[in-house]
Chains A and B, each alone.
Chain A
Amino acid sequence: MNWRIIRALVSKDYSLFFRNRFYSIVTVLGIVFYIAVYFWMPKSVDESLSIGFYTPVPFPTIEQADEEGLEIHFADSQEELKDAVIEGDYIAGIAFPADMKETLMAGGKPKVTAYFTSDVPLEYKDAIELLIKELIYERTGQELDIAVKEEILGPDMLGMQIPPRDRIRPMLAVLLLIFETFGLASLVTEEVERRTIQALLVTPVSITGFFISKGITGVSLAFIQAVLFMGVTGGMNNQPLIIITTLFLGAVMVTGIGFIIAALSKDFMSVLAWGMVTLIPMFIPSFGVMFPGAVTGWIKYIPSYYLIDTVHRVANFGAGWSDIWTNLLVVVILDLVFIWIGIMLLRRKTR
């Protein structure tokens, strides 16, 4: 294997890529757009129910209800309460009657008014109504005699939820990697279709050298973009070395898949067809990160799961080597398998 030749082949691919001013601009623009999408996404999670109260007479149970997940506010008048609900300051405004204490003491049912905006989700409206009932139950001393034994599974994220932009980040990073697969696959397909590979192989370039050069081109193009994206979006604030290693292994994986697609394709359209079939499933695991519980155990059969899960856990939960080494091991094995299959198929095709 002659590294000087490999270097020449890689620099040839790079110069072909960047000589095309259009490609270079589009590649840069692509990263800029992904970064823009990230920064457009909400940067915080509103996990509290903000409720306004109007209580003409003191109602101590309300202050006691001010717990995690409930934001209690008080209005000076019913009109102020209604205005605040309309303005969206509170999800609901609750007005207690002035004679509530007397009514309760007389065994009657006080009439409480709950104001909602018309776009309030049904589950919130029902929950607020039930909350009012619960407040009155407590006020009248009707407690439920139930001992709840709670156990939180997984890290308790109460008050420090992962914002949507950070949940979408692993998907965007892997998306950048995956799109490069098309580029690499079409680069290799072109070499095969135009028979330039045959021309190259009559020179001192060996078939191994050819694959290594294409591999280096593919890996570096995908890897640099993904690292840049993660760096700008703060995805490397936790454990940068693990993130870089994961993205590198991810770039190797998509390069292997790129080889397989190239071997199965005869032109750009078939690259696209095979690419879609192969790569669309690769996005599915990111839904599991964006919407926890959206996917079940079968997701682990999709290779990109181990990439996305690692990036998510490291960037969003600060996981360390000991937490994710099994994921990386699976990725390394998958890399070797994909690269091997890809090279075998391409060897057969170029024979």
Chain B
Amino acid sequence: MNIRNTGILLSKEIIQGPKGFIFIWALVMPILISFVFSVVFGTLFSEKPKLGVIDEGDSQLVQSLIEHDSIIYREYDSETELKEAVETGSVNMGIILPDGFDTALRQGNTTELKAYIFGESLAKDRIIVAVVIGDLLREIAGQEAPVEIESIFLGDEESIPWSDRLLPFIVLMAVFLGGVFVPATSFITEKEKRTLDAVIVTPTSIQDVLASKGMFGLILSVFIGIVVLLLNQAFGAHPLLLVMLLILGAIMAVEVGLICGVFFKDFSTLFAVWKSGGILLFGPAIVYMFPQIPQWIGRIFPTYYLINPIVTVTQRGGSWPDIATNVFILIGIDVILVGLILLSLRKTRKLAG
């Protein structure tokens, strides 16, 4: 392999690459998805029950509900709006507070409360909403809790919010879209347009071509990975460790991309593989999203050894000793893939020859 030739080809990739759709797609998609997930779905995936309220008077309950941490409060202007919100599941329960509600409650008069319940809401959500409302009403009525509660936490596990559960998916998307597609499509294009034949009759070798395309994919992949981690505020404690992980992950992605580029004759084939084989890459992210799935299943997938260290560092405060084993496995996978690329080079030489 000639470093100078590789450098020249890499500069060509850097100039030509951004003009292609795949480059824009690989760059924009993860950032867009990350943005959508964090802004929109970050709140939608919250496991807190949602309560909709119409306040026909000026109830003190409203302010207490707004400030309460156990539920998400939403206000509605009309009963029609409230019923629609309950029917579609926007809120788990909707209540209508009549005018003079607080006064009646304080005076100990029987007070009527109209409640709409979303039929698909979980039993535990209904209980949470009911006990929260009950407690706040007792506060308004001036009742004092006849008990002292001491809460003790056991174990050292932490609950994982949805915004965190989605991070592995977003990171994999960031690293693998650019890492796989940019080198793969670039190589396939060279084969389709027969420019590869032209290049290798010059002093440039197939290795130079592959290395330049791989380098370009690697740079893009690591860059998007860092951007996505920054967007998700997950670049905190050990940035160097995270960059190292992203580089190792990007190497895996690029190697997969180069193998695809060598073996597949056209884009249709590449996307057909992505359609079904993509699950092999995103498997650990799906397992991580749903803790009910046995977590050992994640270990079957090669990308687990990228995602697990990233999650350990960004979400569990882990450092090198906690991730070392998985990082070495990741390096091992990268080395095996290098071997596969070297094997695939034989095929490339045949193609070029």
Interface residues, chain A, with chain B CB atoms under 8 Å away:
22-23, 26-27, 29-30, 32-33, 36-37, 40-42, 45, 47-49, 68-70, 82, 85-86, 104, 109-127, 129-134, 136-137, 140, 142, 144-159, 161-162, 164, 179, 182-183, 186, 268-270, 272-273, 276, 287, 291-294, 296-297
Contacts and interface: CB of A to CB of B under 8 A. Distances in A.
B67 interface: no
Interface in B251-299: 266-269, 271-273, 275-277, 279, 286-287, 290, 292-293, 297
Residue among B147, B273, B290 with most chain A CB within 10 A: B147
8 contacts: A26-B273, A47-B123, A119-B159, A126-B70, A150-B116, A152-B116, A152-B117, A186-B268
A41 B273 CA distance: 23
A297 B69 CA distance: 28
B132 to A, nearest CB: 6
B197 interface: no
Contact of B110 (A147, A153, A287): A147
B353 interface: no
Nearest to A167: B120
A153 B86 contact: yes
A158 B158 CA distance: 28
A292 B89 contact: yes
Interface in B116-169: 116-120, 122-128, 131-132, 134-135, 137-138, 141, 143, 145-160
Contact of B118 (A30, A69, A147, A153): A153
Contacts of B47: 121, 123
B350 interface: no
Contact of A144 (B134, B276, B287): B134
A118 B118 contact: no
Given A110-B147, A144-B134, A145-B108, A268 B268 contact: yes
Contact of B70 (A40, A127, A145): A127
Contact of B267 (A137, A140, A268): A268
B113 interface: yes
Interface stretch (B19-27, B320-328, B339-347): B19-27
Given A47-B125, A142-B146, A154-B87, 10 more contacts: A30-B272, A41-B293, A109-B147, A118-B156, A124-B128, A130-B135, A136-B145, A153-B117, A269-B20, A273-B21
Contact of A118 (B154, B269, B276): B154
Contact of B124 (A27, A49, A114, A272): A49
Contacts of A104: 146
Nearest to A85: B154
B90 interface: yes
B122 A45 contact: yes
Given A40-B297, A154-B119, A125 B286 contact: no
B141 A144 contact: yes
Contacts of B293: 40-42
A22 B146 contact: no
A144 B271 contact: no
Contacts of B156: 118
Q: How large is the interface on B (under 10, 10 to 19, 20 to 34, 35 or more residues)?
A: 35 or more
A148 B131 CA distance: 13
A151 B290 contact: no
Given A129-B151, A164-B290, A69 B124 contact: yes
B127 A147 contact: no
B78 to A, nearest CB: 15
Contacts of A47: 122-125
Contacts of B148: 109-112
B269 to A, nearest CB: 6
A137 B114 CA distance: 23
Contact of B111 (A30, A145, A151, A182): A145
Given A22-B269, A153-B119, A33 B279 contact: yes
B132 A116 contact: no
B248 interface: no
Nearest to A94: B149
Contact of B276 (A29, A120, A287): A29
Given A147-B112, A150-B115, A269-B22, A130 B132 contact: yes
Interface string B285-317: 011001011000100000000000000000000
Contacts of A276: 25
State the 10 A-B residue pairs at the shortest beta-carbon distance, nearest first. A69-B123, A292-B89, A293-B89, A154-B119, A30-B276, A47-B122, A119-B157, A123-B70, A293-B90, A268-B267
Nearest to B271: A182
Contacts of A132: 147, 149
A327 to B, nearest CB: 16
B88 interface: yes
Contacts of B127: 49, 69-70, 127, 131
Contacts of B175: none
B120 A142 contact: no
Contacts of B267: 186, 268-269, 272
B49 interface: yes
A124 B125 CA distance: 9
B71 interface: yes
A79 B160 CA distance: 27
A145 B134 CA distance: 11
Contacts of A82: 154
Contact of A117 (B41, B131, B146, B155): B155
A334 B88 CA distance: 24
A199 to B, nearest CB: 21
B153 A294 contact: no
A292 B146 contact: no
A117 B108 contact: no
Contacts of B88: 292-293, 296-297
Given A161-B120, A269-B21, A269-B267, A144 B286 contact: no
